[in-house]
Structure 1
Amino acid sequence: FLTDADPGIECFETMYATRAEGVRHVERHLTRLAASAAWLGFPCDVQALRARIDESLAKFADQNAPHRLRLALGKSGAATITSAPLAPLAQDTVGVLLASDYGFAPVESADALLLRKTTRRAEFDRAWREAEAQGGFDMLFFNERGELTEGGRSNVFVKRDGKWFTPPLASGVLPGVMRGVLLDDDAFGAQERVLTRDDVLDAEALMLTNALRGAVPARLIR
């Protein structure tokens, strides 16, 4: 159904950008977008998208002001780019809640769309908005096996025994851009590992990551 009919979803990337420095980790974003498009059977002209991004950046009034740049790609291969100034976080450490404590169902680890950044994310969006209503930034999900997966708008890293760990993609996790950056950083030394609710509750530290905010310390709100 993904190739013969419009699946009713888009691939998208939400990126941090300034006019002076361009899009942070732009190649990682475009590589992920192209991979998602290929899996869905969407045409994706990466060179044309680069040109469209450059056109958008040139319109920013302040060359150093951070912006949220959103690139969406539909089944026809048509792209839409929107942008808005990015306000700073109110606090250096953000609050995180557990989605299962607020009535959210487990995610299904076998759902292949979890590995792609698409607009089929109503429950994720509802979760982070509920987190904001509770004074937090995001909610953490678990899968049908009780394994930690990710936040509604972030990946999560958990510190145990002095080392950082993040759930593997097989648990049902989006390969986030900042997640990839940190896993590729030998000095940081993070590893993938199956994690549980107890790992979150007993963590020495928590960290949320996404392309817009980078890596942000987090605390659990109970």
Structure 2
Amino acid sequence: MTRMKRSPDHEDEHIDLATHTDPDRNRLTPLLRLPPEPALAVVTALAAVVREAHVREREFPTPPGTLKRAQEFEEGDVYMAEAPFEGFFADRYLMDFYDVRERGVCSRMHLHTGLRFVRMMTGPATTIRVSSLVPITVLDAHWPGTPLLTVVDALPDAPVPRERHTVVVPENSWVDMQIPRGVSHQFNAVGPHAVIDSVHPEESIETLREGMSGYRMMAQTIFLAEQRSTADPCTEP
């Protein structure tokens, strides 16, 4: 595979939305719904791991040239729970989502230089809007109740007209998503209780392929917009 980044360590690189074509589709599998109390307990405990890591980072900053495990991304704070090592190329991140209503901005549509597997978990009064430039394939699963809500609208603030395909993850839910390399996606949590458990199965490989100097979520990302839009387009329905 060829490299995707123009500048390997650039943490805010973006590409032309007008010419981008997704090479594949994201695949989303609804797993289960929980009662509000256990859903809140799981999400709160995982978010606490991330928050404690960021407290430690502020108190004892990672020395330059050393792997920084507490990082920030547009959707939330992240913590590298397990790092790659020689002979094992994958790693695992936890993300504590920001509530887009509190921040007043949406995260941008983007793609990654390597494939991702993410498990999204929500608690009470919280949903996650999962979007892409192409339809998201929702796979069959043992899912109680009505199918997940899907919405098609215009990508906000785009310099050229592009459709946005969204699946809404309901409250108190676990949903898995497979994200192929180079496929657009966008996550926005509406509410205070949302986390992601994310596995990057080729992080060492993609870092070498792109010529990056380290493992950083932002550097492994290419955005499809220069700036973020206001929160309104990613809070409804």
TM interval, short-chain normalised? under 0.3
* Bigger RCO (CA 8 Å, 6+ sep): 2
Q: TM-score, normalised by structure 2?
A: 0.21
Where is the helix percentage greater, Structure 1 or Structure 2? 1
Where is the strand percentage greater, Structure 1 or Structure 2? 2
